[in-house]
Amino acid sequence: MPKQKSHSGAKKRFRVTGTGKISRNKAFKGHLNEHKSPSRKRRHAGKGLVNKADVRQVRKLLPNL
């Protein structure tokens, strides 16, 4: 059976931490930021972890993890 290909979109969006959890970028920070408060922008900055309920689906998209 041929090798399973990784999902190209998921490759760009997720990475595995040293402890094996899957990290992601937070949403709502890409554009239209002028009217958002600084605290709201800070809250959406940086990285987050993928929810436990979604980990199985992400791992299916990235079989090489």
If one counts the domains in the chain, the total is 1
End-to-end CA distance of the chain: 19
Q: Is residue 14 part of a domain?
A: yes
Average pLDDT over residues 17-21: 95
Q: Would you state the pLDDT for residue 64?
A: 84
Return all residues near 61 (Cβ < 8 A) that are at least 6 apart: 6, 7, 10
Average pLDDT over residues 25-48: 95
CATH code of the domain in which 54 resides = 4.10.410.60
Taking the C-alpha atoms of residue 62 and residue 65, their distance in angstroms, rounded to an integer, is: 6
**Which has more pLDDT, 64 or 15?**
15
Taking the C-alpha atoms of residue 55 and residue 40, their distance in angstroms, rounded to an integer, is: 26
| pLDDT above 90 (res 9) | yes
Q: Is residue 3 part of a domain?
A: no
**pLDDT band with cut points at 50, 70 and 90 for residue 3:** confident
Q: Is residue 36 part of a domain?
A: yes
